[in-house]
Chain A
């Protein structure tokens, strides 16, 4: 019994020590809309993300106005007409890496993971589950994922006249290098 107790104690202590959180304030998220008329892309390089390497918790947060386009007018319309970024300034994801135990954060390599949680865009929250990769190099973790979202799911209306210019499904690419530790 004593042995068991000390084991338990060691475990709980170990928990405190290795409760590792890595985070970043300058992750990258891009999106890409492919349509017969034109391709539209934008990039946000100020994505905040926190990963708990022990529990597998993973969160993302970004300011919608941080997305930048090649065309000034597109950026204006994106904020004004589609994302209503004054009304809904943030997009967030709160979820878990479901198989985080299979990732060895001490060993370099690429680990395929599955992430699921709540994705909030344009004030609308949906449960999503997407595949991703956790890349470990010299003890630094990078999260990479590409997935698609349907605009209609998040109440983002596309008027008929520009229907051919904007894809129904937008491809979102995430790349966050967790350069900070806590």
Chain B
């Protein structure tokens, strides 16, 4: 009687052992996973894809292109929608900007462009000063600095007066404070300073401040709704101008981003849409427009 019980005990030991051996593999795996997870927590994860591209609608987002990436941008703004059927609701006329952005590092990009609007050339750089991150280094926001210089090559309005070459220059300094709140929702604030060497009226200021606010809400993985508004204090703006408001869609397909939008600004460089917007939404002075972005990877990443 005694021997069979030992026999059963031994059999049990053996079977229990097989079971524990199996669990050990899973245990060991979860141990490894935990280890890797804690390593992850001890490193910094930077937030990516706060916006789909480097432009929100007219202005910049906190996004940069990656190092060695060339982003070719073609932007159109058609005429006013209230032009009616004769103008095919503005499609008869268009202003266009061609430009290219390039990422020197992951935090610094440069860009140039030429806009048919007042035959303007522009150049800028965008530096990410702070990057939103979690993990070891925690940062709630991304902060970017974007200075832009624009050169208006349109012939001087009055060639008879003494014209200075410096009158063609416009300077914009912009800070962008952005945060990706969730997978689909991102917001940013854009305090903007513009300087023009020449103003139309003697009582107008050469230096103007504006505060921009913008954001996006994804409605699917590849489509988002964007809005952008630049507020100017009523006492500190150019005569006859109004605040710029734009609303649009981002549609992303692989290396392309298509942006379709409605805006009351016709210009596409900072000083024009921030300080020289004249269209009134309530009157139908709305410009339909689009930006197309095509990305080329030039430099190798690794």
Query: Which residues of A are in contact with B by a Cβ distance under 8 Å?
Result: 1, 5, 8-9, 11-12, 15-16, 19, 21, 23, 25, 46, 48, 50, 52, 54-55, 57, 59, 61, 63, 68-73, 76-77, 79-81, 86, 90, 94, 159, 161-162, 165, 182
Question: Is the CB–CB distance between A70 and B222 below 8 Å?
Answer: no
Measured CB to CB, the closest approach of chain A to B44, in angstroms, equals: 13
Residue B3 contacts which of A1, A50, A68, A79 (CB distance < 8 angstroms)? Answer: A1
B197 on the A face (CB < 8 A): no
Listed residue (B13, B25, B222, B252) with the most chain A CB atoms within 10 angstroms of its CB:
B25
Q: In chain B, residues 10-25, which have Cβ atoms closer than 8 Å to a Cβ of chain A? A: 10-11, 13-14, 17-18, 21-22, 24-25
B-side contacts of A21, CB under 8 Å: 24-25, 28
B-side contacts of A52, CB under 8 Å: 21-22, 24-25
Question: Is the CB–CB distance between B7 and A63 below 8 Å?
Answer: no
Interface size on B, residues (CB 8 A): 39
What secondary structure prevails in chain A residues at the interface with B? Answer: mixed
Q: Do A59 and B29 contact each other (CB < 8 Å), given the known contacts A12-B17, A19-B24, A21-B24? A: yes
Residue B302 contacts which of A16, A70, A161 (CB distance < 8 angstroms)? Answer: A70
Question: Is the CB–CB distance between B10 and A15 below 8 Å?
Answer: no
Measured CB to CB, the closest approach of chain B to A99, in angstroms, equals: 18
What residue of chain B has the Cβ atom nearest to residue A43's Cβ?
A: B302
**Once bound together, how far apart are the Cα atoms of A93 and B58, in whole Å?**
47
Listed residue (B11, B28, B106) with the most chain A CB atoms within 10 angstroms of its CB:
B28
Measured CB to CB, the closest approach of chain A to B268, in angstroms, equals: 23
Question: Is the CB–CB distance between A48 and B33 below 8 Å?
Answer: yes
Question: Is the CB–CB distance between A50 and B14 below 8 Å?
Answer: no
What residue of chain B has the Cβ atom nearest to residue A69's Cβ?
A: B301
Q: In chain B, residues 68-126, which have Cβ atoms closer than 8 Å to a Cβ of chain A? A: 69, 106
